[in-house]
Amino acid sequence: MKILYALTLLLSFVTIYSKDLSYKEQLDSAFNFYKKADYKKALEYYHKIEADGYTSAYMYYNMANAYFRLNKISKAILYYERAKLLKPNDPDIIHNLNYVNTFVSDKIKELPEPFFITWFNSLINIFSVNTWAIIALVLFIILAVLVYLYYLFTNETLVKLLKIIAIFVFIIWIISIISAYSSYKHISTSNYAIITADIVEVKSSPDENSTSLFILHEGTKVQITEEFENWFEIKIADGNTGWVKTTNVEKI
């Protein structure tokens, strides 16, 4: 039984390693086509990797660049947004996303959000979810060591110092856990999408014959608030809402 277990474990490691190697080879092939300016071929490889469940900010960033080179603005914005979800504070992603958004026809004035929401979002966007998780783990280890030393030493001054440091580390640890969880929730429950059709009539209800409220163009970012059959209820940055066909948008 032990031999069988060991062989099974070894086989799983080999399978995982082979899969990672396969992804690396495909990523290298995609990047080689990208460097040769064969963006369509590069995107074929990237989409195959994406369909297999592998994602990264770096891959999405290259996909966005490739789509922009092919003059597919909505797709470029979509993949810059996906890259930003995974790496929210990356200056290259932010710069390119801001630039490509200048090509979007709809200039919608955003509603101001409460200052505490802006502050909190700025905090969690300092690092990616993985970085926040690593920080939380390291701080937990440091905290455990500090607690151990607190009960180990008898010097009153040293004990007080350890207590102050432990409290400070504990507060930062709690912040890192909250940030990691919030960042993860933001990624896993993202309800935003990009208009992919050239022109979309936003309806008052999920019905082709309902009243047209306003028009949106390719590349505009919207928030999905409800789904009904093959319709999405959306909200745009200025607070206006309406219904669009699911085929006219793609979720970030």
CATH of the domain at 242: 2.30.30.40
pLDDT at residue number 153: 85
Q: Which residues of 29-38 are buried (b: 16+ CB within 10 A; e: fewer)?
A: bbbebbeeee
Q: Are residues 201 and 146 in the same domain?
A: no
pLDDT at residue number 43: 95
Q: Are 245 and 222 in contact (CB under 8 A)?
A: no
pLDDT at residue number 6: 42
Q: Are residues 142 and 76 in the same domain?
A: no
Domain boundary among 67, 101, 135: 101
Express as a percent the part of the chain with pLDDT over 70: 91
For 107-160, write each residue's pLDDT tens digit: 888 877 787 778 888 888 788 888 899 999 999 999 999 999 988 888 888 889
Domain count within the chain: 3
| Entry pTM | 0.75
From CA 197, how far away is CA 11, in angstroms rounded?
Answer: 46
- Per-residue pLDDT, averaged over 14-33, amounts to 67
Question: What are the angstrom distances between the C-alpha of 14 and each of 11, 22, 54, 87, 174?
Answer: 5, 12, 18, 30, 38
Question: In terms of residue numbers, what domain contains 234?
Answer: 192-251
- Per-residue pLDDT, averaged over 94-118, amounts to 88
Residue 106 lies inside a defined structural domain of this protein = no
Least confident among 15-24, 47-56, 146-155, 235-244: 15-24
